[in-house]
């Protein structure tokens, strides 16, 4: 009986995601990086061009399935609150916030299954803290204040 209980507790602890143990503080270092490494860095990793170089030949890079680098925290933030603010949210949305109801074109990369995509989207949403699809020029100070997107604890 005791053994069974311990076994059950161990299984429960193992199956709980890292997120369940994060006590609410979702950070780039602890939670986002592993997901990015698994699903995004093959096209947005250390060997991808920075956003300025990418913009000089957008179609050339895109044709090779190479996206702009989002490897470091600051590089990723460019697409959250920086010059291309909201891009991360627009590209990853599952269609619930887009005007045409279609998912953003990076949504499919969030996982192999619908369940995994939904789970990872939830993580990105918790990290951003304020899921707005507004473009940089439309974002208000209030929007900027509400976005959390922490680098580390």
Which residues would be at the binding site for ligand HEC (CB under 6 A)?
A: 39-40, 42-44, 62, 65-68, 79, 84, 87-88, 91-92, 105-106, 109-110
Q: Are 151 and 73 in contact (CB under 8 A)?
A: yes
Select 10 or 34, whichever has its Cβ closest to ligand HEC.
Answer: 34
Cα separation, 118 vs 111, in Å, equals 8
Query: In 1-153, which ranges are continuous DSSP H helix?
Result: 2-15, 33-39, 41-44, 51-56, 58-63, 73-77, 87-92, 114-128, 141-146
Select 57 or 142, whichever has its Cβ closest to ligand HEC.
Answer: 57
User: Measured from the CB of residue 8, what is the shortest distance to ligand HEC in angstroms?
Assistant: 34
Select 10 or 105, whichever has its Cβ closest to ligand HEC.
Answer: 105
- 58: tokens are 């957008």
Cα separation, 40 vs 65, in Å, equals 11
User: Measured from the CB of residue 11, what is the shortest distance to ligand HEC in angstroms?
Assistant: 29
User: Measured from the CB of residue 6, what is the shortest distance to ligand HEC in angstroms?
Assistant: 37
Cα separation, 87 vs 94, in Å, equals 14
User: Measured from the CB of residue 59, what is the shortest distance to ligand HEC in angstroms?
Assistant: 9
Select 2 or 46, whichever has its Cβ closest to ligand HEC.
Answer: 46
């Amino acid at each position: 009986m005791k053994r069974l209980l311990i076994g059950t507790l161990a299984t429960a602890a193992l199956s709980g995601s890292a997120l369940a143990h994060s006590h609410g503080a979702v950070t780039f270092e602890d939670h986002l990086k592993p997901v990015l490494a698994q699903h995004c860095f093959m096209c947005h990793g250390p060997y991808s061009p920075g956003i300025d170089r990418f913009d000089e030949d957008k179609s050339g890079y895109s044709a090779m399935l190479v996206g702009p680098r989002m490897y470091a925290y600051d590089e990723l933030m460019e697409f959250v609150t920086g010059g291309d603010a909201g891009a991360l949210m627009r590209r990853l949305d599952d269609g619930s916030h887009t005007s045409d109801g279609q998912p953003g074109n990076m949504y499919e990369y969030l996982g192999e299954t619908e369940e995994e995509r939904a789970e990872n989207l939830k993580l990105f949403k918790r990290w951003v803290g304020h899921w707005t699809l507004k473009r940089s020029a439309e974002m208000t100070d209030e929007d900027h204040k509400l976005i959390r997107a922490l680098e580390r604890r």
